Structure 1
């Protein structure tokens, strides 16, 4: 039995990985030059993956200066990913959000703080019971300045908490908007079991521990 347990543990570890994450195509994504998204009408955009996008969009929309959070897919090597395709783990994409925000009201640095304050920092390839590479945590940077912010905050938090943070850091390439039925899911389906039992509790945990001055009065 003592020999079986380590074997099972090893099998579970590798089951959380897949060839899409280690393929040459995926490595090219991770090593690519970042794409910078221009500010439009005073609004900037930032991109994060942190588990199910139904949860994450509500968290960011509770922050002052954030106009909208759009659910989609990013970080992979295939074009036009769909929900069904990304769920196989073979596209390399993770469920992600596009945050449209006013940089005069909320900074990119604060958005990164929101990111780290709203998830299980040490969980690899998932959040809660949502497990698989499509639910992995990724922070996307569009330029060297953003990369430095992410790296510095991640390293400081690891040192402060004495942990290994699971979130990956990727150069942003492209964001693919998810199917219409995924958008604003938490607001449109408040009675959904997942929303009531997973999304809303995660949102409330975040709001309870984040500086109130940075949060909207109502969400």
Structure 2
């Protein structure tokens, strides 16, 4: 029992952020906005996902074949130039998100969406694991109608496997704000962090077991 309590306290203290908030997050004008499409560059496209702590999500996507890079940041809110401290209050409307830069000739947007649902608890509302609050809510962003239809199709398929409803919001992409430098590749550079050891690494290992065919040969 003592070991369990210490582990629980450790996760709270060293979580990606532990200021749980339940403020209304997505404003109607954002949910109903026209999606912004990001042009491809050098043959690479970009997709945007929010699924709890961005340290975890970034590490998952960077292990996928065809993904050139995943960048941690903020999206889905109404505040310009949000900081980590502001995001943690839950008042910016933003969720911790990742920008996934990928080669569509190697990995499709639909596969990235399947990775999204397969690397989290898709029924958890306003958070993932120990991270709770609107800043950790699940969101899949679409840039055009084709992407929206793909998301809705995969979401419906995934929903058949759960009694509870799928929690992810499906929102039109507006803008991605890159997070502070120290958040980038956090799982890679801070393997000794208790949160990384207790939450991030088990989460990515669980994903690897589900999708071994998608992994890079050097996936960490």
3-state SS, counterpart of residue 63 of structure 1? coil
Q: Please list the CA deviations of residues 61-80 of structure 1 after superposition, one character each: whole Å capped at 9, or x if unmatched.
A: 11000010000000001100
Gaps of 5+ in 1: 1-14
Q: Please list the CA deviations of residues 41-66 of structure 1 after superposition, one character each: whole Å capped at 9, or x if unmatched.
A: 00000000000000000000110000
Q: How does 1:129-140 map to 2 (within 5 A)?
A: 129-140=130-141
Partner of 2:112: 111
Two-structure CA RMSD over aligned residues (Å): 1.2
| Greater helix content | 1
Larger radius of gyration: 1
3-state SS, counterpart of residue 200 of structure 1? helix
CA distance in 1, matches of 2:21, 2:144: 30
- Aligned residue pairs total 200
Runs of 4+ in 1 over 2 A off after TM superposition: 159-163
CA distance in 2, matches of 1:196, 1:158: 30
3-state SS, counterpart of residue 69 of structure 2? strand
The Cα of 1:18 is off from its aligned counterpart by 1.3
CA distance in 2, matches of 1:133, 1:20: 6
CA distance in 2, matches of 1:188, 1:214: 23
Gaps of 5+ in 2: 1-19
Partner of 1:100: 101
CA distance in 1, matches of 2:81, 2:162: 38
3-state SS, counterpart of residue 106 of structure 2? coil
The Cα of 1:155 is off from its aligned counterpart by 1.2
Partner of 2:190: 189
Answer yes or no: is the 8 Å Cα contact 2:51–2:138 preserved in 1: yes
Change (3 A) 1:91 1:16: closer
Answer yes or no: is the 8 Å Cα contact 2:24–2:134 preserved in 1: no
The Cα of 1:20 is off from its aligned counterpart by 4.1
Q: Please list the CA deviations of residues 78-136 of structure 1 after superposition, one character each: whole Å capped at 9, or x if unmatched.
A: 10011000100001000000000000000000000000000011100000110000000
Answer yes or no: is the 8 Å Cα contact 2:128–2:137 preserved in 1: yes
